[in-house]
Amino acid sequence: MAKHDPDLSRVFHALSDPTRRAIVAALAQRPLPVTALARPTGLSLPTVLKHLACLEEAALVVTEKQGRTRICRLHPAPLAVAEGWLGAQRTEWEARTDRLESYALALMKEART
Amino acid sequence: MAKHDPDLSRVFHALSDPTRRAIVAALAQRPLPVTALARPTGLSLPTVLKHLACLEEAALVVTEKQGRTRICRLHPAPLAVAEGWLGAQRTEWEARTDRLESYALALMKEART
DNA sequence: TAAATACTTTGCCAAATGGCTAAGCATGAT
DNA sequence: ATCATGCTTAGCCATTTGGCAAAGTATTTA
């Protein structure tokens, strides 16, 4: 039952923090260097770097050093994976409610005879 | 920028643990009492109850006491909210790559004249 | 009424998380 | 060569997390 899926765990964990979600949202618009990401958060640079490391471990962000600045880009594939998992659960749930509904309809039809 | 969205934080955090995802997946099939959820995890009951509390705080699960057993059901709305957030980020990212592509195409066309 | 079942509460623990400051290193500008 | 910029590393701290065992409460069931 409990298939340990380290990827999903890392992605969901990365997205569970508002600072990291803000970083993802910013990088969805355009690549940015670390300092530009840090400024609007009001957090210290080392703190933001830790958040970035967390996002990189989840493969949500890739970075590349250019001279003395590090450019960060969004890597959207894990977003799609997470989205797929969520959709699958919703689909399962909806399939069950559909089965319940048709069962209820069948009962009503039978009661009418 | 960093709109602290406690709902999303709680939902993503709840889903960041494999045990809790397994619980969600099980409840997507059908409602279950606590012990039935605990059995396949191999974890102690108090531990599973803590996971359930976490899922309830995220509004992913609702429970109802029937006699001495507590029935747990999936509440799929937060799944849809999380899915929506993920989709929005992907959409933003795709919009940007589309803009880049048409810009590149325009450059190529101009170069040809 | 007594025993089994199904949680529930309490208290404990090690490890991870999210934050900081201070000090270091590498590169671009003067 | 010097200085400012932009990251990096190292260490510290309080809180949270995920796990457990033990003991309690509330409902069946016998």
What is residue A17's three-state secondary structure?
coil
Residue B107: per-residue pLDDT: 76
Dig out the tokens for A60 from the structure.
């949500």
Over residues A83-93, the pLDDT tens digits come to: 999 999 999 99
Least Cα separation, residue B57 to chain A (angstroms): 14
Contacts of B2 in chain A (CB under 8 A): 18-19, 21-22, 40-41
Check: CB of residue B39 under 8 Å from CB of residue A100.
no
* Chain B residues with beta carbon closer than 8 angstroms to that of A25: 1, 89, 92
**pLDDT, average across residues A54-65:** 97
pLDDT number for residue A77 = 96
Q: How far apart are CA B10 and CA A74, in angstroms?
A: 23
Domain boundaries, chain B: 6-112
Give the span between the Cα atoms of B75 and B14, in whole angstroms: 13
Per residue in B82-97, pLDDT tens?
999 999 999 999 998 8
Q: What is the three-class DSSP state of A4?
A: coil
8 Å CB contact between A55 and A12: no
Q: 10 Å Cβ neighbour count for B50?
A: 14
Query: Quick one: average pLDDT of A35-43?
Result: 96
Chain A positions touching B17 (Cβ under 8 A) are 9
CA–C1' A51–D15 (A): 17
> What is the pLDDT confidence band of residue A112, given thresholds at 50, 70 and 90?
low
The maximal CA–CA distance of chain A, rounded, in angstroms, is: 81
A34 Cβ partners below 8 Å, 6+ apart? Answer: A45, A48, A49, A52, A69, A70, A72
Residues A74, B83: C-beta atoms closer than 8 Å? no
B37 and B26 Cβ atoms separated by less than 8 Å: yes
Using the 8-state DSSP alphabet, how is residue B109 labeled? H
- Residue B2 pLDDT greater than 50, yes or no: no
Q: What is the pLDDT of residue B1?
A: 44
The bases of strand D with some atom under 7 A from any protein CB are 5-11, 17-22, 26-28
A6-112 folds as Arc Repressor Mutant, subunit A (1.10.10)
